[in-house]
Structure 1
């Protein structure tokens, strides 16, 4: 999942300590402060309390050292796109997770054969997009005794753009999937996630309409009163390039990577 770039929104200049690094000492803290200012300004403009919007720092391709620098600057929610990176970085943040100081979300597509790895390292999954996958995760949570308040927090991923390159269930089917997921033991439905249309390819009103569609899905599920759906309040939407549009449409979580770390390290 890559952050979208919005040329009209100036970003802090990238700095580096070496050819393969996107950060230097103090740069992450400065970038975080700038992102938090953007979030606060967007919330104010939308007539919302900035405290209603959480910042998830996407740590794709970042080394543990960069992640720890972000944590030192007050980050309490990070997200990983790839299971192998999630597992590799887990030891560096394990103490904070165990102490309840840090949440770690899987924000990339999850294959069924990697469920155990995610359950061992993540506190939440934002990309649940099928009932078969949900049932497999539920079975393993129950097997491990993770039920009730100890269940895995999950969001249903919704493809609001209809693009084949994006994962997620269609908006018309998202409500039924969410209701079914909410009834499964070992899972705690907390909301919905989407990836908006790329601003380079779509007008702002199109991107914003996609976010509004996700909000409508969430509101319909909450209004249904179906068992287990009462906690499905979260809307994880908006990234580096479009977070202002997402916040205007009700985002409660924005996922930001490049605006925090600068350009991703080269392979």
Structure 2
């Protein structure tokens, strides 16, 4: 069993090196540096042992789509001795009845998709801070539906413009940036979507100097190179990180 585990660790470590080679090419094209980018291993489809191997392989950032799985991974990984330092983020849709489960477990929530959800997270996080159960407001990203696809969640850009001042006043959250997902199957559409997110970030920061949207969370296994060239600061890799046989596109 140990030999099999070591073999898997070796494979995902080699795959990480291949990913970094591709990342460096994209960064070079964009005139950027590796320290400008975070690489997340999305562990939603793997078990705790595989997630731990990802951390051992060098990933310092893990992402989960479901609150219950985030809590399970949080507790399971915390029980493993001598694991290198890492952060676990919530990247999937968050229902209001799951907020309490995520608070205190997620380093960053990527999927604040509406003003109502932002208010709900802020209210509950503020109560936790007041009670001494959280050390600081919950760090969040605002999810934006840049592409306009009906199947995607998130703020419409115009709706975000209309309510950003209200969101900035919420005491229980700290807005750290924006997140989006691109339509699948077209790198041209992906580039347009990611550029739109960057431009929206620049616009909002220009209008509100107190707003520091340092993170642009965009780019996944199929389009991370395009996202990097368009300014992503955090790419989210699932299959390409955990399945060494999955082709790098």
| Fold shared per TM-score above 0.5 | yes
1:113 matched to 2:97 = yes
Aligned partner of residue 141 in structure 1, secondary structure? helix
Alignment partner, residue 197 of structure 1: 183
* Structure 2 counterpart of 1:173, from 146, 155, 159: 159
- Partners of 1:158 and 1:219 lie apart in 2 by 14
1:31 matched to 2:15 = yes
Aligned partner of residue 235 in structure 2, secondary structure? strand
Please tell me whether the aligned partners of residues 234 and 251 of structure 1 are also in contact (alpha carbons under 8 angstroms).
Answer: yes
- Partners of 2:162 and 2:62 lie apart in 1 by 28
1:250 matched to 2:231 = yes
Deviates more, 1:38-47 or 1:107-116: 38-47
Please tell me whether the aligned partners of residues 56 and 84 of structure 2 are also in contact (alpha carbons under 8 angstroms).
Answer: no
Q: Is there any run of 5+ residues in structure 2 with no aligned partner, and where?
A: none
Alignment partner, residue 139 of structure 1: 123
As a proportion of its length, which structure holds more helix?
A: 2
Please tell me whether the aligned partners of residues 87 and 107 of structure 2 are also in contact (alpha carbons under 8 angstroms).
Answer: yes
Query: 1:95: Cα distance to partner?
Result: 6.7
Task: Pick closer, same or farther for the CA change 1:95–1:123 going to 2, 3 Å.
Answer: farther
Alignment partner, residue 168 of structure 2: 182
Please tell me whether the aligned partners of residues 151 and 186 of structure 1 are also in contact (alpha carbons under 8 angstroms).
Answer: yes
Query: 1:100: Cα distance to partner?
Result: 9.9
**What is the count of residue pairs matched by the alignment?**
237
1:83 matched to 2:67 = yes
Task: Give the CA RMSD over aligned residues.
Answer: 2.4
1:61 matched to 2:45 = yes
Task: Pick closer, same or farther for the CA change 1:93–1:180 going to 2, 3 Å.
Answer: farther
After the TM superposition, which residues 34-45 of structure 1 pair with which residues of structure 2 at under 5 Å, given as runs? 34-45=18-29
C-alpha distance after superposition, 1:172-223 (max 9, x if no partner): 2223344322221121111000011102xx3x22221111110011111111
Please tell me whether the aligned partners of residues 129 and 135 of structure 2 are also in contact (alpha carbons under 8 angstroms).
Answer: no
- Partners of 1:58 and 1:77 lie apart in 2 by 8
1:223 matched to 2:209 = no
Alignment partner, residue 161 of structure 1: 147
* Structure 2 counterpart of 1:214, from 161, 173, 197: 197
When normalised by structure 2's length, the TM-score is 0.88
After the TM superposition, which residues 94-133 of structure 1 pair with which residues of structure 2 at under 5 Å, given as runs? 94=78, 101-133=85-117
When normalised by structure 1's length, the TM-score is 0.82
Query: Structure with the greater relative contact order (CA < 8 A, sep ≥ 6): 1 or 2?
Result: 1
Query: 1:93: Cα distance to partner?
Result: 2.7
Please tell me whether the aligned partners of residues 174 and 217 of structure 1 are also in contact (alpha carbons under 8 angstroms).
Answer: no
Q: Is there any run of 5+ residues in structure 1 with no aligned partner, and where?
A: 1-16
Please tell me whether the aligned partners of residues 113 and 153 of structure 2 are also in contact (alpha carbons under 8 angstroms).
Answer: yes
